[in-house]
A and B are shown apart, each in its own frame.
Chain A
Amino acid sequence: MKTILQAENVEKVYRVGSVDVAALRGVSLDLEEGEFLAIMGPSGCGKSTLLHLLGGLLTPSGGRIVIDGEDLTAASDAKRTDIRRRKIGFVFQRFNLFPTLTAEGNLRLAERIHAGGGNGGDNADRRREVLRLLKLEDKMHHKPLELSGGEQQRVALARAIVNRPAIILADEPTGNLDSENSAIVLNMFQEMNYRFNQTIIMITHNPEAAAMCRRIVQMRDGQIVAPNTGLQV
């Protein structure tokens, strides 16, 4: 099976005033194509920092990260942006949709950026398929504020998956949702994982959400303390 992600001894140190604060202390993680991984741990353990590093939003202080064969740590800022554009999809706790664009507009913007900013990348069939799978067909002309939290998160998931990235990084995607909507969104994540063999890493505090993943990683104090717990499918 193809390895999508390799993280070797990743470190991240933040400088706060004159004090160095270690957020990650040598994290190593491998992920195969089609895996659905949950990262759990208490607040401040470094989960989000790890996700931002894996997504190329931050640069590590040490170690190496390879996404789908491309070394993020050796890349320049522009190159990391390019890798993120081609290989990574993000889903955030706060949805982070563009409020001035409709659901479809948000997807098309992601397509346009994925295509390099030009007018290409418009794939109506794929967009419709994703919107249909996420049961958003009748919401495509609605703006985010006209949608419920669960619907907004489904649009965010649709936006992340519409370009078929190598990996989706989800940072507490159900953190702002009630249990009913959480279940719907998690089912959608699972559906995308099964149907498209989509590789997903999801940060969550919710054990029920984590239980839907194929593998669970536990973190504490900037380190992975349990690299392979939970369900093995």
Chain B
Amino acid sequence: MESLVANNIRQRPLRALVSIAGVALGVCLVMLFTGLSRGMSNDLQRRSSNLRAEIIFTRPGGMELTTSTANLSTKYADELLQVEGVAQAVPVIRYVFQGGRGFGFEQVEGVDWDAFAAMNEMRLVDGRAPAAVDEIVIDETKARNGNIGVGGTLALFGGKPYRIVGVYAPESGARVKMSLAAMQDALEAPGKCSYILVKCHDGVDPLAVIGRIEAQPSTQGNKIQLTRDIITNIEKTIPYLSVFLRALVGLSAIVSALVVMLAMYTTITERTREIGMLKALGASRGYIVSVIEREAFVISLLGLVAGFTVSFLAGYLINRAYGLLFEYGWRWALVAALIGVGGGVLGALYPAVRAANLDPVNALSHE
């Protein structure tokens, strides 16, 4: 059946497209930011969960997300091995630098590969362990996303090329690792590390071990934490992330509503005479509001589809280009859908009510 709503949208394609784009923008903002936040958080959690060490021994400030500190002496590893219940202690340097494409941060870890791999049950799926100062190994995800492998090179530390000599699995911590000595050399920090991973003997309570480490006079002033608490701490190092996301969601709703309101307000002005005609035909206020709201609803639905499509496409392309991970959840998708449709419908409410209250004689004489 011929529909006034559908025909109005078809008759004014540019205005409809602007409105659809406005709704899509709101949906995209919510989907991309929450998808990125969730993707990166889950990725960190996944990689951290692959660490088999139960305890991390570090100095205060040594585990910040965006800093590169190597202020802990590797000699602590020998002292930790003397503590009852400790099976292994492996020093790690973590270096954080701006991404190669100027977007986000990347991490490199310096480890004694054999000890690190043995502790965390990792294996080389291709190539060999790093030995020389310009050699690195990467995890399978890095190899797959970057379409690189053994024999390739990666530019680190100000563009210096490093040869890829191995690919390892499973992913754990930083995606790029070099030998501890090579990292100490690159950072001019001999004998230093960022933290020490501590693995306990089977059946030993890590909390009891932590108590014993803390009782050692030589370890005073350092920070000891459980590996499983890392994610909690990571979230704490990004303060107000959830507040930011909520603010973003609110902003998206306002953007959607404003764009639709402006578009519908314009269309009401354009169609003043038609609204007068509806009134002359005996259309009630409710009917006029419903015509405009139905139009806004259809536009919002189209915006929703466009927004989801662009979000998934943009997430895929950003992942391909920059390696950033996007994971979309149903809950946030539902929020984005509510924002898109709710913002559109609410945004159209004022113009719709204004149209319904127009004086019919004035509306009919509108040029």
Contacts and interface: CB of A to CB of B under 8 A. Distances in A.
Contact of B273 (A58, A96, A102): A96
Contacts of B283: 81, 85, 113, 117
Interface string B275-287: 0111111111111
Contacts of A101: 2, 4, 7
Interface of B: 1-2, 4, 7-8, 10-11, 273-274, 276-287, 290, 360-361, 364
6 contacts: A57-B279, A100-B10, A104-B2, A105-B2, A113-B287, A114-B281
A117 B7 contact: no
Contact of A86 (B2, B276, B278, B282): B282
- Which 4 pairs show the lowest CB-CB distances between chains A and B? A85-B282, A100-B7, A105-B2, A84-B282
Given A96-B280, A105-B7, A117-B286, 16 more contacts: A57-B279, A81-B279, A81-B283, A92-B364, A96-B273, A96-B277, A100-B4, A100-B8, A100-B11, A104-B2, A114-B281, A114-B282, A117-B284, A117-B287, A117-B290, A159-B281
A99 B11 contact: yes
Contacts of B364: 57, 92, 96
A81 B284 contact: yes
Contacts, number: 72
A57 B282 CA distance: 10
Contacts of B8: 100
A222 B85 CA distance: 107
B275 to A, nearest CB: 11
A105 B3 CA distance: 8
- Which applies to chain B's interface (DSSP): helix, strand, loop or mixed? helix
A88 B360 CA distance: 15
Contacts of A100: 4, 7-8, 10-11
Contacts of B280: 55, 57, 84, 90, 92, 96
Contact of A57 (B274, B285, B290, B360): B360
Interface of A: 52, 55, 57-58, 78, 81-82, 84-86, 88, 90, 92, 96-102, 104-105, 108-110, 113-114, 117, 159
Contacts of B290: 117
Contacts of A52: 361
A102 to B, nearest CB: 6
A96 B278 CA distance: 10
A81 B282 CA distance: 5
Nearest to B281: A113
A82 B284 contact: yes
B278 A113 contact: yes
Nearest to B12: A100
Contact of B281 (A58, A99, A105, A109): A109
A82 B282 contact: yes
B274 A98 contact: yes
A108 B2 contact: yes
A108 B10 CA distance: 19
- Best-buried of A97, A108, A109 by chain B (most CB within 10 Å): A109
B68 to A, nearest CB: 63
A55 B284 CA distance: 15
B185 to A, nearest CB: 74
Contact of A113 (B7, B282, B285): B282
Contacts of A85: 281-284
- Best-buried of A97, A108, A117 by chain B (most CB within 10 Å): A117
Nearest to A118: B287
